[in-house]
Structure 1
Amino acid sequence: MEPVFSGQPIEGNAISLRYACKQDLDEYFAYLQDEETTRLTGSQQHFTREGTAVWLQKISAVNAEERVDYMIIEKSSGKLIGEVVLNEIDTVNRSANIRIGIRGSGNRGKGYGTEAMRLMLRVGFEDLKLHRIHLGVYAFNPRAVHVYEKIGFRREGVQRDVLFDNGQYHDMILMAMLEQDYEAVRGGAGRPE
């Protein structure tokens, strides 16, 4: 399971995916400060500029044995609007976790997240030869659940009261896609619309 990554961007219709670089610091730090993004992803961490610079340096190195991090770039503006990540890569069981974040309400609802997920599923199933890709999404984010189901993820269960935020507990919906699910929807999941 030794993929060959060229380091070249992955081109979609409206977005491209590329590795992080140190020039991303300002935009990536702003992304990490976006309140709606941190709420939807359940992040409760405080990010400093210095810590963000160190993290960017770490994820800019290609290391598909552990994780694959891509920045989501809107093609028309060239702006960094989010990230999509395969992490927790398990080469023995051929599985990984996927996560995505899109910065700002102005970038949501435009299909960027759907396109980024489809491109990253292609990386996971075709390049990394994974068998299973899973994710967790909070129950208060039904729009994301709808998108994940639309591109072929299936619900597997619920972790009850997994996140305490704003004075209340929230459930996490567990979802996954297997390689045969990917193949069944490959015309949509494997290629951008």
Structure 2
Amino acid sequence: MVTLTGKNIFLRALEPEDLDFLYRLENDETVWEVSETQAPYSRYVLREYLKNSHKDIYEVKQLRLAISDYNEKLLGFIDLFDFNPKNKRAGVGIVVLEEGNRNRGVGTEALRLLINYSFARLGVHQLYANITEDNAASIQLFSNLGFERVGVKKDWHFTEGEFKNEILYQKINRS
């Protein structure tokens, strides 16, 4: 049975109550490099986003899920993006807020749940992740769960006056 429920965390749909957390995350400049954000988001824009977050992945080609512990504490988000049902692939992104949640297995458990869901429920053949070469934590996370390094995009991100390479990782469902 495929489930979005793990031992310590579960993945759930976004709720209107997530607005403050989403606002804080989307306006955290330390994660803008990953999301390619250039300017802050208003509460209004994020409220409208939450109103439409219930739409089907086949319609909007993306799915954002909240990562929550069993005390209902929101720990981060995990996304499928560029969902392509014809070619059976999707991109994966994850952010776990620091606040004592990192290095506790939250990201590993969330990514494992999303992989299983994607392969079993959505029929995805492959997942991919784009990770800057200096993001050791993400490289380790995705590598530990079977994503393979398949390519490098040279000078892909321009951040703080310098270019950074981006590494492409893929996990192909062989079953």
Q: Is the shorter-chain TM-score for this pair beyond 0.5, marking a shared fold? A: yes
Matched, 1:148 2:142: yes
1:1-193 correspondence to structure 2 within 5 Å: 10-59=4-53, 61-65=54-58, 66-76=61-71, 78-180=72-174, 183=175
Q: Between Structure 1 and Structure 2, how many residues are aligned?
A: 171
Per-residue deviation, residues 69-89 of structure 1 (Å, max 9, x unmatched): 21111224x221211111211
Consecutive aligned runs of 4 or more in structure 1 exceeding 6 Å deviation: none
Name the CA distance, whole Å, in 1 between partners of 2:99 and 2:47. Answer: 25
Name the CA distance, whole Å, in 2 between partners of 1:79 and 1:175. Answer: 30
Q: Answer yes or no: is the 8 Å Cα contact 1:36–1:104 preserved in 2.
A: no
Q: Which runs of 5+ in 2 are unaligned?
A: none
> Per the alignment, do residues 85 and 31 of structure 1 end up closer, same or farther by CA in structure 2, a change over 3 Å counting?
same
> Per the alignment, do residues 140 and 45 of structure 1 end up closer, same or farther by CA in structure 2, a change over 3 Å counting?
farther
- Which amino acid in 1 is paired with 2:78? V
> Per the alignment, do residues 170 and 156 of structure 1 end up closer, same or farther by CA in structure 2, a change over 3 Å counting?
same
- Which amino acid in 1 is paired with 2:66? M
Counting aligned pairs with the same residue, the percent is: 26
- Which amino acid in 2 is paired with 1:165? T
Shift of 1:18: 0.4
Where 1:148 maps in the other structure, the secondary structure is: helix
Per-residue deviation, residues 107-138 of structure 1 (Å, max 9, x unmatched): 21111111111000011101001111111011
Where 2:134 maps in the other structure, the secondary structure is: coil
Q: Answer yes or no: is the 8 Å Cα contact 1:73–1:80 preserved in 2.
A: yes
Q: Which runs of 5+ in 1 are unaligned?
A: 1-8, 184-193
RMSD: 1.7
Name the CA distance, whole Å, in 2 between partners of 1:37 and 1:103. Answer: 10
Name the CA distance, whole Å, in 2 between partners of 1:145 and 1:162. Answer: 17
TM-score scaled to structure 1, two decimals?
0.82
